[in-house]
Structure 1
Amino acid sequence: MARLLRSFRKTLTLNPQIHIQQQRLCISHPPIIISRRTYISEMRKEAFEGNISRLLRNEIQYEIQSSSSSKPPTNKFGSFMVDGRPGERWITLNRQFADENIKVEVTMFDGAAPAPKASGGVANSDEVQLHITLIVNIYKGDGGVLEIMCSAWPDSIEIKRLFVRAGKDTPAEPYAGPDFEELDDELQDGLYDFLDARGIDNKLATYLHQYMKHKDKTELIGWMEKVKSFIEKK
């Protein structure tokens, strides 16, 4: 018996390849517990992604159904042609007025303020009015550009600031003048009349709020569809 054990030990000593082959066998065939863990991890990942996909699908259906009764605004308002720029946070309005080219760049909703109190009543503290920013650019040939920054509330346009950019010679940080409210009252009224004559008035503010409500929902649905598509991608 002792001779048999000595012979077996000698065989292991003289043949190290046997030990190496055993190690390779263990590496190429890992314990089944690792495979089970990987399988469980994949199942959890698929369940998690499937839940996100389901939630997004429900949200998309809800938004589509809630907007089915609302009529989308037209891409024309008065003399302005409207470029909705799908997928972007801006839209652009363009028109010609006499010898002027007018371009208005408009944000989606970018702020809010408490709703004004109704006459004789108290406003609900939860009620707000949404804010839209307008950048009005009025071009007169080579005479530079008059740029007017405005706020559009649900039923009114409010001028904030204006200055002239003289083409290529405009400084990187031009003097933009005082705040509009610091100007003489008569001058303020004259500048509002100047914009009104060019179709930039309270009716335009109302139209833009209607347009942006529709765009906001359309962009939200598109965003959710892109996220859902990415999650479901194999």
Structure 2
Amino acid sequence: MGHRLIRPLRGTITRLLQQQPKLLPTTNVFLNPNSSRNYISEMRKEAFEGNILRLLRNEIQYELDRSPPSQHIPEFNLFIVDEKPGEQWIRLQKKFGETEDIRVDVTMFDASVPAKKPGGVVAGGDVQLHITMIVNVFKGEGSDVLEFICSAWPDTIEIRKVFTRGHDRITAQPYTGPGFKNLDDKLQDSLYDFLETRGINDDLAAFLHNYMKNKDKTEFIRWMGTVKSFIEKKQKK
């Protein structure tokens, strides 16, 4: 089954927009034509908004009934997980040894590729979801930062770039070095070991995918609730 975390409302709302002029008849029922038009326009608006509210309530209830979001997980393998509602990033932080601080900024799902079966054949309709990770390793106040740009797949971490930059990010475009796959194989392995020792590993990738699936659902339900509240709010006279 392909990735389908939420049931999109776009098609339904588009159809509703197209049907909006047909929701109520336009026959004049008042002697004053202007009053009649204003009354009908207001009734159309209320009926249209009522339909959107009904769709939103149904979708919220559907998501809650099907599989309600789980509670925020505050920690994983000594990483403290910092998540702010409504944002597309989370941050993981921990200390390593006596001198290092590790910070990992992680996106929600931002891409996908066709999934492959063990034999290498692409599975029909299935995709692998992609998460971007930015790993920063700090070694004391004022020192440069070692930064890794990584991909988190469902069960593995892939390094894409490794470079150093200033602690205060003053340099707008630091030199980021060659592509990671252009490095010597032994150096690549050593850099993977460097991250593995600090807990940036396949277990973390699996945790992040489960975490982001839950956050995706949570944010979708929150978004629908926010839109619903806006539409329910009456304009001040």
Query: Structure 1-normalised TM-score?
Result: 0.83
2:138 maps to amino acid: Y
Distance 1:231 1:123 in 2: 44
Shift in alpha-carbon separation, 1:33–1:166, aligned structure 2, 3 A:
closer
2:136 corresponding residue in structure 1: 137
Distance 1:90 1:54 in 2: 31
1:22 corresponding residue in structure 2: none
Task: Name the Cα RMSD after superposition.
Answer: 1.7
Percentage of pairs with the same residue: 59
After superposing on structure 2, the runs of 4+ consecutive aligned residues of structure 1 that deviate more than 4 Å are 70-73
8 Å Cα contact 1:107/1:134 also seen in 2: yes
1:15 corresponding residue in structure 2: none
What is the DSSP-based 3-state SS (H/G/I as helix, E as strand, rest coil) of the residue aligned with 1:87? Answer: coil
How many residue pairs are counted as aligned between the two chains? 203
Give 1:169 shift: 7.9
Give 1:85 shift: 1.5
1:78 maps to amino acid: N
Shift in alpha-carbon separation, 1:38–1:170, aligned structure 2, 3 A:
closer
Matches within 5 A, 1:1-234: 32-68=32-68, 71-72=70-71, 74-98=73-97, 99-119=99-119, 122-141=121-140, 142-168=142-168, 170-234=170-234
1:82 maps to amino acid: V
8 Å Cα contact 1:92/1:104 also seen in 2: yes
1:139 maps to amino acid: F
Distance 1:44 1:71 in 2: 39
Q: Deviations over 1:38-89 (max 9, x none)?
A: 1111111100000000001101111111223x64462211010101221100
Query: Structure 2-normalised TM-score?
Result: 0.81
Q: Bigger radius of gyration, 1 or 2? A: 1
Shift in alpha-carbon separation, 1:169–1:124, aligned structure 2, 3 A:
closer
Shift in alpha-carbon separation, 1:110–1:139, aligned structure 2, 3 A:
same
Distance 2:72 2:144 in 1: 33
Runs of at least 5 residues in structure 1 that lack an aligned partner in the other structure: 1-29
What is the DSSP-based 3-state SS (H/G/I as helix, E as strand, rest coil) of the residue aligned with 1:103? Answer: strand
8 Å Cα contact 1:72/1:211 also seen in 2: no
